[in-house]
Structure 1
Amino acid sequence: MAIHQLPDGRWKVDVEPIKGKRFRKTFKTKGEALRFESTCRSKMIVDADWSPRPKDKRRLSELVKLWYEMHGVALSDGLRRFAILKAAAEFMGDPIASKVDGAAIATVRARWLALGVTGKTANNRLGYLKSVYNELHKLDVLDFPCPFTRIKPIRLQERPLAYLTKPQIAELLGALRNRDTAPHTYMVAVICLSTGARWGEAQALTPERIGAGVITFANTKSKRVRAVPVAPALVESIQAHWREHGPFSNCIGVFRKVLLETSIKPPKGQSSHILRHTFAAHFIMGGGHIVTLKEILGHASLSMTMRYAHLAPEHLHDAIRLGPLAGSGLMP
């Protein structure tokens, strides 16, 4: 029976309106018990949250596809992430997404590292997988949050940022200028060295983004438009270049090839950004303010720009001047 009287006179409700959803409670009177039973049955009909939901048996690859269709398609690098996520799901054996937990992710990450995947790449893949769960949960596609939020990314050793000296800049620009088959490469490199722009930002410039002494970058990583003052001579050179050769083409591959042909040997993974680092390093070494550099580079936070702070002439000198032993005569 759903309702029955106990030996002590109280009334017990034991009702299961839908299999898997059972309610038990004891009341002093039969009327209270009847009302509770009626409420439980009606709630199962009216309120969907009271009804047991079927187990989510969708595979990880299905969630990846949904993530791309509902969120990733709007990202500038959505297709690239989609390809990485599909490969990750396949590598993991395409498990049931709801059963992927921290232990499973840690095991997969260990396999990636054993195969030679770098810590940074492994961290990126982990972040992309978390995004699949988090975004679909926000969109009410999943009724559970990311099940492996507590697994932390690998702590990476910070690498010093390489930059070119003035003789190296002259060598590189000379090599690029002599490459007649790729005239755009030289001009894009000059823009990067003059503004600290990323290669893709400089390469995507169009005539309407160059004004009187200012270049405006709109296709930025942070999605924010930023304007950088430049010498009028540079503006004239760019405009003359476009009149002769037309708009910039994709020439990063030529730049990397020419760079390898010079005596310059940048650290692995820094060749495409070495001109940006060079601008930032020379700006700081010349006495430029770190906050101004942040605005020029378009960094979202000052912590990114602080990577160049050690190059400032006065960097950390206050540690000597203002330390507790300064002027005390107690220094050994």
Structure 2
Amino acid sequence: MAIEQLSDGRWKVDVEPVKGKRFRKSFKTKAEALRFEATCRAKCIETPDWSPKPKDGRKLSQVIARWAVLHAHTLADGAERRVLLEAMAVELKDPVAARLKAVHYSEYRAAKLEAGSHPKTLNNRLGYMRAMFNVLRHLGDISYPNPLESVKPIKLQERELAYLSDPEIDQLFAAIHKRCKTPHVAMVAAICLATGARWGEAQGLVPERVKDGLVTFANTKGKRVRSIPIDSELEFRIQRHFKAHGLFSNCLNSFDKTLGASGIVLPAGQSSHVLRHTFASRFVMNGGNILTLQKILGHTSLAMTMRYAHLAPDHLQDAVRLGPVTDFRQFFDTWPT
């Protein structure tokens, strides 16, 4: 008998469509069992090597470990991302990955949000988890669809990109020279202001990458090498600094503390990046081309650079010149007094 009912009410299929190929599986209903039996018989006739795929019963933590083996080594932050994903698996109670539902993840996210997690942090976590499933599916390690495909990121209020005025730049460097014991802070900050570099990019410079009127950043976020022209005076001072003090030390904490004590007020979450924003803002306000700025900053997406477009001298001026109303006197001069 190919199909029989078990004592617990389930239906067991035990079918051998061709000699030597036997399939056994249990189902909740007889209809499911019949469909499976028919599928096995038909598939074995059409494709003798066919065999039903076993269910993927791996836990989420096991899938993360598999992703780490196959892909994490290709990422600059692969080890850190694995730690974060494993922590998420624990918080999600490590379900069978194939059974993870969008609603389960949404409930988890809502609880984290209520507990005080920042929406941007939660969006990053969603992105990491979705990317993990996408990679494994692309590599053929999982056959089921990405369970988080339908989960949408939380909509965020666009953050204000603050930049420093001339008096604030003077105020900042006065504080640096007064409070910082290491001479590296002032030089790294000056490089960031002059080139739009991230702090880590400027801090990672070596003498060989400062020459011929160019500074070359190799340790970039986008893994692309980029060279930025600099003034000859700045080039001279950087080389002199290296000869006198050696390579830059890790001095971001000193800068952060000095900026906090300088009296300069910035939006929450902005520190050394204000130097990069200041360069970009001044570049645009002085008439710089937005595409050139994209290359200088090393943005892979023009959308990132367009955040500065509103600072351009002629930005949206056509709204005044080409709008439906050019003479407002008709609205006011005829009103009764």
Normalising by the smaller structure, the TM-score range is: 0.7 to 0.9
Q: CA offsets, 1:177-235, max 9 Å, x none?
A: 23452211111100000000011111111122112111111221122221111101111
- Secondary structure, aligned partner of 2:197: coil
Asked if the contact 2:191–2:197 (Cα under 8 Å) also holds between the matched residues in 1, the reply is: yes
Correspondences of 1:256-267 after superposition (within 5 Å) = 256-267=256-267
Correspondences of 1:186-225 after superposition (within 5 Å) = 186-225=186-225
Identify which of 20, 34, 38 aligns with 1:23: 38
1:41 aligns with 2:36: no
State the match for 1:146 in structure 2: 146
Asked if the contact 1:164–1:275 (Cα under 8 Å) also holds between the matched residues in 2, the reply is: yes
1:316 aligns with 2:316: yes
State the match for 2:64 in structure 1: 64
C-alpha distance in structure 2 between counterparts of 1:67 and 1:203, whole Å: 32
C-alpha distance in structure 2 between counterparts of 1:113 and 1:180, whole Å: 38
Alpha-carbon deviation of 1:326?
3.2
- Secondary structure, aligned partner of 1:257: helix
Alpha-carbon deviation of 1:15?
7.2
Asked if the contact 2:228–2:296 (Cα under 8 Å) also holds between the matched residues in 1, the reply is: yes
State the match for 1:253 in structure 2: 253
Correspondences of 1:216-235 after superposition (within 5 Å) = 216-235=216-235
- Secondary structure, aligned partner of 1:178: helix
State the match for 2:10 in structure 1: none
Q: Which amino acid aligns with 1:166?
A: D
C-alpha distance in structure 2 between counterparts of 1:252 and 1:207, whole Å: 20
State the match for 2:109 in structure 1: 109
Structure 1: gaps spanning 5 or more residues: 3-13, 25-35
Alpha-carbon deviation of 1:154?
0.6
Over the aligned positions, Cα root-mean-square deviation in angstroms equals 2.2
Asked if the contact 1:194–1:279 (Cα under 8 Å) also holds between the matched residues in 2, the reply is: yes
Asked if the contact 2:137–2:143 (Cα under 8 Å) also holds between the matched residues in 1, the reply is: yes
TM-score (structure 1 length as normaliser): 0.86
State the match for 2:134 in structure 1: 134
Q: CA offsets, 1:292-323, max 9 Å, x none?
A: 21111111122111111111222111110112
State the match for 1:84 in structure 2: 84
Q: CA offsets, 1:65-122, max 9 Å, x none?
A: 2212211122111122112111111111111111111101100100110111111100
C-alpha distance in structure 2 between counterparts of 1:205 and 1:69, whole Å: 32
Aligned residues: 306
Q: Which amino acid aligns with 2:44?
A: R
TM-score (structure 2 length as normaliser): 0.85
Correspondences of 1:236-251 after superposition (within 5 Å) = 236-251=236-251
C-alpha distance in structure 1 between counterparts of 2:107 and 2:136, whole Å: 24
Asked if the contact 1:92–1:108 (Cα under 8 Å) also holds between the matched residues in 2, the reply is: yes
State the match for 1:31 in structure 2: none
Closer/same/farther in 2, CA of residues 41 and 285 from structure 1, 3 Å limit: closer
- Secondary structure, aligned partner of 2:87: helix
Asked if the contact 1:137–1:145 (Cα under 8 Å) also holds between the matched residues in 2, the reply is: yes
Give aligned-pair identity as a percent: 48
Closer/same/farther in 2, CA of residues 324 and 211 from structure 1, 3 Å limit: same
1:306 aligns with 2:303: no
Q: Which amino acid aligns with 1:319?
A: A
Asked if the contact 1:325–1:331 (Cα under 8 Å) also holds between the matched residues in 2, the reply is: no
- Secondary structure, aligned partner of 2:38: strand
Correspondences of 1:174-189 after superposition (within 5 Å) = 174-189=174-189
Alpha-carbon deviation of 1:244?
1.1
Closer/same/farther in 2, CA of residues 288 and 55 from structure 1, 3 Å limit: same
Alpha-carbon deviation of 1:43?
5.6
C-alpha distance in structure 1 between counterparts of 2:83 and 2:150, whole Å: 25
- Secondary structure, aligned partner of 1:137: helix
